[in-house]
């Protein structure tokens, strides 16, 4: 009689390509990306960080209602996105803006959504950071944790039946892995051999709950074998390592029709959101420790070591990035809000009686309070 005791089992190792100083540890694991590609990856990460700073401050000024930064997790976004086919369907949780950025979602697109203006993909129906774009093959975020995970498994099953040769990537956090939807998604994908990459961003905290209090066992990766999934753990602050494992996972998905679980070990440097104050549950020293080992810093070291970047270029690009973000910010803020008709459309092919009744009620309300509204025609598209 021999009980399996998890505390006596060896931990799953962390795959790494670069050390903290941007040096490749094993030349055989160097992805051999071109100079232009690595520079583009770095610039996207810096642009994302710049946008985060401006939109975070905008929320503090009352100019947008909510925001979530991506500080410290940029490597998981860009490293994985660069390894995928842009036609692969992506499902996210709410902290994957870098994937959108890599796929061509513009600064204007981000601003239009955060300001909920008339060019917002969501037509003003979602609060800021609930990005989504059919053109970029990324399903719109749904704020409740893990709801995207069963959807991802189902989408992967559909791709498999259609014989597209594509896969699905599903991003989620360590906290979402505690939801029942995670179990359903893992089991569905494994038993039906769905080509889906489950990409866990283990950033150390589920809002204010540290991983030490959130689960037992060896992280999220240890659950993979229990569901019959290929699994790997990677240094999420190592952009090259994330690229390599995502590329290999995708190949496994599309050639073998099987799900893969990736656990990327990273750290959420910023607050959970603008509704959070992380100083209440962690120390400044802890945050500063990880700030010095951020994915941006590590990739910057690599570029400098290669002779592809210097601090003058760094300063110039950061100034340029700030200028570009501010231009998009001002344009998004100045645009009008969506027409009120968008509240009543897109659900039914023709307006149902209950919606027509609500519309009449709204028109009467607007007529009584004309001074509060810029239009009395809720069906007029004022672009």
Q: Order of strands, edge to edge, in the sheet holding 89-91?
A: 89-91, 168-173, 196-202, 260-265, 230-235
Q: Name residue, tokens 């014989």.
A: 163
Q: Which has the closest alpha carbon to 221: 179, 183, 260?
A: 260
Angle between the N-to-C axes of helices 239-256 and 295-306, in degrees from 0 to 180, rounded to the nearest 10: 100
- Give the C-alpha separation, 158 to 178, whole Å: 26
The pLDDT profile of the chain, 383 residues, written as one tens digit per residue, is: 999 888 888 999 999 999 999 999 999 999 999 999 999 999 999 999 999 999 999 999 999 999 999 999 999 999 999 999 999 999 999 999 999 999 999 999 999 999 999 999 999 989 899 999 999 999 999 889 999 999 999 999 999 999 999 999 999 999 999 999 999 999 999 999 999 999 999 999 999 999 999 999 899 999 999 999 999 999 999 999 999 999 999 999 999 999 999 999 999 999 999 999 999 999 999 999 999 999 999 999 999 999 999 999 999 999 999 999 999 999 999 998 888 888 888 888 888 999 999 988 988 888 898 888 765 556 554 44
H or E, element range at 97: helix 97-102
Phi, psi of 282 (to 5 degrees): -150, 160
Cα dihedral 261→264→268→273 (10° resolution): -20
Phi, psi torsion values for 296, nearest 5 degrees: -65, -45
């Amino acid at each position: 009689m021999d009980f399996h005791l998890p505390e006596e089992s060896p931990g799953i190792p962390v795959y790494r390509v670069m050390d903290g100083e941007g040096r490749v540890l094993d030349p055989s694991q160097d992805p051999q990306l071109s100079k232009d590609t690595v520079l583009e990856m770095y610039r996207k990460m810096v642009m994302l960080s710049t946008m985060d700073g401006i939109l975070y401050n905008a929320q503090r000024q009352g100019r947008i209602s909510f925001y979530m930064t991506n500080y410290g997790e940029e490597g998981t976004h860009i490293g994985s996105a660069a390894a995928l086919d842009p036609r692969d369907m992506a499902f996210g949780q709410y902290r994957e803006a870098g994937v959108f950025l890599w796929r061509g979602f513009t600064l204007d697109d981000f601003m239009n959504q955060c300001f909920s203006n008339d060019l917002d993909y969501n037509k003003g129906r979602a609060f800021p950071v609930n990005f989504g774009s059919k053109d970029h093959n990324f399903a719109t975020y749904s704020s409740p944790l893990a709801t995207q995970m069963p959807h991802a498994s189902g989408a992967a099953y559909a791709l498999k039946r259609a014989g597209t040769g594509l896969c699905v990537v599903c991003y989620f956090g360590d906290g979402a892995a505690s939801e029942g939807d995670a179990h359903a998604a893992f089991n569905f994908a494994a038993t039906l051999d769905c080509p889906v990459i489950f990409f866990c961003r283990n950033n150390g905290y589920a809002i204010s709950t540290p991983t030490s209090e959130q689960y037992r066992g060896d992280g999220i990766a240890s659950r993979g074998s229990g569901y019959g999934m290929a699994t790997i753990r990677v240094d999420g602050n190592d952009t090259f390592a994330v690229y390599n494992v995502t590329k290999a996972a995708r190949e496994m998905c599309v050639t073998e029709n099987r799900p893969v679980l990736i656990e990327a070990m990273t750290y959420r440097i910023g607050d959970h959101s603008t509704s959070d104050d992380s100083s209440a549950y962690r120390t400044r020293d802890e945050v500063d420790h990880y700030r010095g080992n951020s994915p941006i810093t590590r990739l910057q070291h690599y570029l400098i070591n290669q002779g592809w970047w210097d601090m003058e270029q760094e300063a110039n690009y950061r100034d340029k990035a700030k200028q570009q973000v501010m231009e998009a910010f001002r344009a998004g803020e100045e645009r009008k809000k969506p027409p009120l008709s968008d509240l009543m459309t897109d659900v039914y092919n023709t307006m149902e009686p209950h919606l027509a009744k609500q519309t009449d009620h709204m028109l009467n309300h607007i007529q009584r309070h004309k001074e509060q509204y810029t239009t009395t025609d809720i069906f007029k598209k004022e672009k």
